[in-house]
Amino acid sequence: MDLKRYTHSDARDVRSLLLDIHDEAYSDDPDPFHSRERFAYFVDLWSSRENWQCVSGWEEGGPVGYAYGSMLKPGGWWTGHQRPSTTRGSVFALSELVVVPQWQGTGRAQQIHDALLESVEADIVTLQVDSTHHKVQALYERWNYIKVGEAKPSDDSPLYAVMAKGLKRI
């Protein structure tokens, strides 16, 4: 799989790609929270951060998926959940990891995830996963994330499992 990296300065150029991949991944989901319009808000919010990073995967001439996120401000955490008292150091928030249906279950998600995190200089990475998606949560647990709580950041959002793991640098 070919990997491409993007930063805040590439956000405008990559925006449509991210929205298109999201649309493909959520094509069978009628929940308005997963609509293109709602997701565009989150893409714009996250990619407006100067430390935003994104990695996309490509295979057979087309996109496989992407992951993106950014560093949280010192002491920062997810809306709707209090930062665990044991969380020390800098934190990278993995906001999105999306793989198109054709490539789901092939290990590509972990490759994209790992490629994004290899250039992240943080002590901890955190993410949120829809608490009704037990298989996805179990996947993150196999990647050494632990559930540290739950959050519902907005009225129209699902209830999320908040997960975190330490990033060891050798």
pLDDT the model gives residue 79: 87
- pLDDT in tens for each of the 170 residues of the chain? 999 999 999 999 999 999 999 999 999 888 888 899 999 999 999 999 999 999 999 999 999 999 999 999 988 888 888 888 888 889 999 999 999 999 999 999 999 999 999 999 999 999 999 999 999 999 999 999 999 999 998 888 899 999 999 987 64
pTM: 0.93
Q: Which domains does the chain have, with CATH numbers?
A: 2-166 (3.40.630.30)
Q: What's the pLDDT at 170?
A: 47
pLDDT of residue 154: 86
CA–CA separation, 60 vs 29, rounded Å? 26
How far is 105 from 162, CA to CA, in rounded Å? 22
